[in-house]
Amino acid sequence: MTISYPDPPTFADVIIKEPNGHTTFNPLWIQWFTGIINFINQSGGVGGTNHNSLQGLQGGQANQYFHFTSSQYSTLVALISGGYSGSVTLAKLTTGGTNGTLTFTNGLLTGVVAPS
Protein backbone atom coordinates (compact mmCIF):
# COMPACT_ATOMS: atom_id res chain seq x y z
CA MET A 1 0.00 0.00 0.00
CA THR A 2 1.41 3.38 -1.00
CA ILE A 3 0.67 6.37 1.18
CA SER A 4 1.09 9.78 -0.38
CA TYR A 5 0.90 13.37 0.75
CA PRO A 6 0.42 16.45 -1.45
CA ASP A 7 3.58 17.95 -2.95
CA PRO A 8 4.95 21.09 -1.29
CA PRO A 9 3.61 24.40 -2.66
CA THR A 10 6.75 25.19 -4.66
CA PHE A 11 4.70 27.58 -6.80
CA ALA A 12 4.57 29.96 -3.81
CA ASP A 13 7.40 32.06 -2.37
CA VAL A 14 8.53 30.78 1.02
CA ILE A 15 9.14 34.28 2.39
CA ILE A 16 6.74 37.15 1.75
CA LYS A 17 7.85 40.77 2.02
CA GLU A 18 5.08 42.88 3.52
CA PRO A 19 4.40 46.47 2.29
CA ASN A 20 5.79 47.78 5.60
CA GLY A 21 9.14 46.08 4.88
CA HIS A 22 8.70 43.21 7.31
CA THR A 23 9.07 39.65 6.12
CA THR A 24 6.82 36.74 6.99
CA PHE A 25 6.71 33.03 6.30
CA ASN A 26 4.13 32.21 3.61
CA PRO A 27 0.93 30.76 5.19
CA LEU A 28 0.73 28.18 2.36
CA TRP A 29 4.06 26.73 3.47
CA ILE A 30 3.07 26.83 7.17
CA GLN A 31 -0.11 24.92 6.30
CA TRP A 32 1.89 22.35 4.29
CA PHE A 33 4.48 21.83 7.07
CA THR A 34 1.77 21.54 9.74
CA GLY A 35 -0.18 19.11 7.58
CA ILE A 36 2.80 16.89 6.89
CA ILE A 37 3.70 16.77 10.61
CA ASN A 38 0.15 15.72 11.44
CA PHE A 39 0.20 13.20 8.57
CA ILE A 40 3.43 11.62 9.83
CA ASN A 41 2.19 11.51 13.42
CA GLN A 42 -1.14 9.97 12.44
CA SER A 43 0.58 7.38 10.23
CA GLY A 44 2.69 6.10 13.10
CA GLY A 45 5.72 8.35 12.78
CA VAL A 46 9.01 7.20 11.37
CA GLY A 47 9.45 4.00 13.37
CA GLY A 48 11.15 4.89 16.62
CA THR A 49 14.78 4.65 15.49
CA ASN A 50 17.26 5.54 18.22
CA HIS A 51 19.00 8.64 16.90
CA ASN A 52 22.34 7.81 18.54
CA SER A 53 22.47 4.38 16.88
CA LEU A 54 22.27 5.76 13.34
CA GLN A 55 25.26 5.19 11.06
CA GLY A 56 27.59 7.92 9.84
CA LEU A 57 26.99 10.55 12.51
CA GLN A 58 29.68 13.14 13.09
CA GLY A 59 31.17 13.33 16.59
CA GLY A 60 34.41 12.94 18.47
CA GLN A 61 33.45 10.90 21.53
CA ALA A 62 30.68 8.45 22.38
CA ASN A 63 27.24 10.11 22.46
CA GLN A 64 28.50 13.25 20.69
CA TYR A 65 26.52 13.48 17.45
CA PHE A 66 26.07 16.65 15.43
CA HIS A 67 24.17 17.76 12.35
CA PHE A 68 26.30 20.89 11.99
CA THR A 69 29.93 21.54 11.24
CA SER A 70 31.87 23.28 13.99
CA SER A 71 31.59 26.55 12.04
CA GLN A 72 27.81 26.17 11.60
CA TYR A 73 27.42 25.40 15.30
CA SER A 74 29.41 28.51 16.29
CA THR A 75 27.25 30.64 13.98
CA LEU A 76 24.07 29.18 15.48
CA VAL A 77 25.25 29.83 19.05
CA ALA A 78 26.18 33.42 18.14
CA LEU A 79 22.80 33.91 16.44
CA ILE A 80 20.88 32.58 19.44
CA SER A 81 22.85 34.75 21.85
CA GLY A 82 22.06 37.83 19.73
CA GLY A 83 25.63 38.58 18.74
CA TYR A 84 25.73 37.26 15.18
CA SER A 85 26.22 39.63 12.27
CA GLY A 86 26.57 38.01 8.87
CA SER A 87 24.76 35.87 6.34
CA VAL A 88 23.38 32.34 6.39
CA THR A 89 22.98 30.56 3.05
CA LEU A 90 19.69 28.73 2.42
CA ALA A 91 19.69 25.62 0.24
CA LYS A 92 18.19 25.57 -3.25
CA LEU A 93 14.60 24.33 -3.45
CA THR A 94 15.04 22.84 -6.92
CA THR A 95 17.94 21.37 -8.89
CA GLY A 96 18.20 24.41 -11.18
CA GLY A 97 17.30 26.91 -8.47
CA THR A 98 19.42 29.41 -6.58
CA ASN A 99 20.47 29.58 -2.96
CA GLY A 100 18.81 32.07 -0.67
CA THR A 101 20.32 34.17 2.09
CA LEU A 102 19.33 35.34 5.56
CA THR A 103 21.27 38.40 6.71
CA PHE A 104 21.61 39.20 10.42
CA THR A 105 22.90 42.25 12.28
CA ASN A 106 23.53 41.80 16.00
CA GLY A 107 21.21 38.79 16.00
CA LEU A 108 18.33 40.55 14.20
CA LEU A 109 17.12 39.45 10.78
CA THR A 110 17.80 42.38 8.46
CA GLY A 111 17.55 40.85 4.99
CA VAL A 112 16.05 37.88 3.18
CA VAL A 113 16.64 36.47 -0.30
CA ALA A 114 14.35 33.48 -0.77
CA PRO A 115 15.82 30.37 -2.39
CA SER A 116 14.28 29.04 -5.58
Region 38-59: mean pLDDT is: 64
Contact between residue 12 and residue 29 where contact means Cβ atoms under 8 Å apart: yes
Write the pLDDT tens digit of every residue in 97-112: 888 888 888 878 888 8
pLDDT exceeds cutoff 70 at 64:
no
For residue 56, what pLDDT band results from cuts at 50, 70 and 90?
Answer: low
**DSSP states of 60-72:** SSTT--BSS-HHH
Extents of the domains making up the chain? 13-43, 69-116
pLDDT exceeds cutoff 60 at 59:
no
**H or E element that contains 73:** helix 70-80
109 by DSSP, 3-state: which?
Answer: strand
Q: For the chain, how many helices (H) and strands (E)? A: 2, 5
Query: If you ran DSSP here, which 8-state letter would residue 93 be given?
Result: S
For residue 46, what pLDDT band results from cuts at 50, 70 and 90?
Answer: low
**pTM of the complete model beyond 0.75:** no
Contact between residue 107 and residue 82 where contact means Cβ atoms under 8 Å apart: yes
- Spatial separation of the C-alpha atoms in residues 78 and 104, rounded to whole Å: 11
**More confident of the two residues 5 and 67:** 5
Give the strand pairing for 100-105 and 86-90: antiparallel
For residue 45, what pLDDT band results from cuts at 50, 70 and 90?
Answer: low
pLDDT exceeds cutoff 60 at 9:
yes
Query: Average pLDDT, whole number, for the chain?
Result: 76
